[in-house]
Amino acid sequence: MLLMKRILFASSVLNLTELAALRPDLGKLKKILYFHENQLVYPVKKCQERDFQYGYNQILSCLVADVVVFNSFFNMESFLTSIGKFMKLIPDHRPKDLESIIRPKCQVIYFPIRFPDVSRFMPEHKAAHLQKMLSRRGHVGAAPPAALPPQQQQGRSEHTLGAVESEAAPRHAAREHLGSSPMQASCLKTCSASDNSSSHHGDSKQNPCAILSGVGDPQRPLHIVWPHRWEHDKDPESFFKVLMHLKDLGLDFHVSVLGETFTDVPDIFSESREALGSSVLHWGYLPSRDDYFHVLCTADVVISTAKHEFFGVAMLEAVYCGCYPLCPKDLVYPEIFPAEYLYSTPEQLSKRLQNFCKRPDIIRKHLYKGEVTPFSWASLHGKFRSLLTAEPREDL
């Protein structure tokens, strides 16, 4: 919550209705409610587990707010169109027309990401990608490609590996060698953290530094990264099922499973760590931001199997670092990523990865066809500045 110059800026997790009632002086301010996620469509394991009060509080907060801002069109539309169904859970005295009351207050401003300078971590084959990212810093005022609702987005069909094979080889720039750059220190820290976190798995684990030192080898195994929270709504079961199928087919790959863990970690993680054995490069949360971006820069493909996503910072950070994204053709992803990077079923995801494992050198020549700069703080700070400009109030 931010109180500044007659503005009350609050996250949607705050019960704004209660705050305004307890502090009438704050209720007079221009009240802005920002939705990172909404509780009306959060996937629960069992329907009876849904906590009605969280969603109800968000609806009431929207009624009290002067402006309601969402971090994506998917977030906004999924919330607004679910209000009617959600309110039917009330046995009687159901308020009507809430969507029509709230909708005029709503707008979308994407979450602003601060993309760091990762040039010191970039391997040679990503030089063209890096050049593309840097060249667009001069056009940060451009509108996001997904500034229209999802139904107005381009409708390109999914491409197969053949579309990637048609890509020309990237131009090469001077390479920062592992042994003479800041990457060396980062690698040492990453290896130490990785070894300490999984030493109980025995000798099957490979040394990440030894593998990353050969990052310039175009025929080295495909490096897959999964940088998400270790919780059920990110559907780790589907992800690991696909990886185990790749192993059953005898395909070679490396995997880095990053992201934070909380109290209840799904059993699939410990089971899969053991089963994946020497395919694992990194396992678990990397507290160092440099180590995290170093892994993203050395990875080839970033995957989401999420059942719940309203924006997806981790996916955009990985794409910024030169990873090829593979995301569900659902949730917020069609709003942000071109159709080429979307899959409809786990079988489609598996097929794409099979092709990539067979020819990792080809996927490393690919240049991302979407945009990430419009989701940066540099592009969006003007919109937030305008949002946080207070309108004169005579009653204050």
Q: DSSP labels for 110-172?
A: PPPB-----GGG--GGGHHHHHHHHHGGGGTTSPPTT-S-GGGS--PPPP-HHHHHTSPPPPP
Give the whole-angstrom CA distance, residue 370 versus residue 132. Answer: 11
Q: Coil, helix or strand for 253?
A: strand
The pLDDT score that the predictor gives to residue 106 is 98
**Residue 366 CB-density burial (10 A; 0-12 exposed, 13-18 middle, 19+ buried):** buried
Rounded to two decimals, the pTM is 0.80
What is the edge-to-edge ordering of all strands in the sheet holding 30-35? 2-4, 7-11, 30-35, 67-70, 106-108
Give the whole-angstrom CA distance, residue 75 versus residue 246. Answer: 34
Residue 46's alpha-carbon distances to 49, 50, 58, 226, in angstroms, are 5, 8, 21, 26
For residue 195, give the amino acid letter: D
Sorted by sequence, the CB contacts under 8 Å of residue 335 that are 6+ apart come out as 72, 73, 74, 146, 150, 153
The pLDDT score that the predictor gives to residue 92 is 82
Sorted by sequence, the CB contacts under 8 Å of residue 217 that are 6+ apart come out as none
The pLDDT score that the predictor gives to residue 107 is 97
Say if residues 360 and 300 touch (Cβ distance below 8 Å): yes
Give the whole-angstrom CA distance, residue 177 versus residue 183. Answer: 8
Beta bridge partners of 69: 34, 107
The pLDDT score that the predictor gives to residue 90 is 85
Q: Could you report the per-residue pLDDT of 268-312, keeping only the tens digit for each?
A: 999 999 999 999 999 999 999 999 999 999 999 999 999 999 999
The pLDDT score that the predictor gives to residue 65 is 97
The pLDDT score that the predictor gives to residue 2 is 54
Give the whole-angstrom CA distance, residue 353 versus residue 369. Answer: 19
Q: Could you report the per-residue pLDDT of 108-120, keeping only the tens digit for each?
A: 999 999 999 999 9
- Strand ranges inside 146-252, DSSP E: 222-227
Residue 349's alpha-carbon distances to 240, 301, 338, in angstroms, are 12, 12, 16
The pLDDT score that the predictor gives to residue 188 is 38
| Interhelix angle 182-197/289-298, nearest 10 degrees | 100
Q: Coil, helix or strand for 352?
A: helix
pLDDT along the chain (396 residues), means of 10: 74 95 92 95 65 91 97 98 92 89 98 94 88 66 44 38 35 32 42 39 45 63 97 95 98 97 92 96 95 97 96 97 97 97 98 97 93 93 90 51
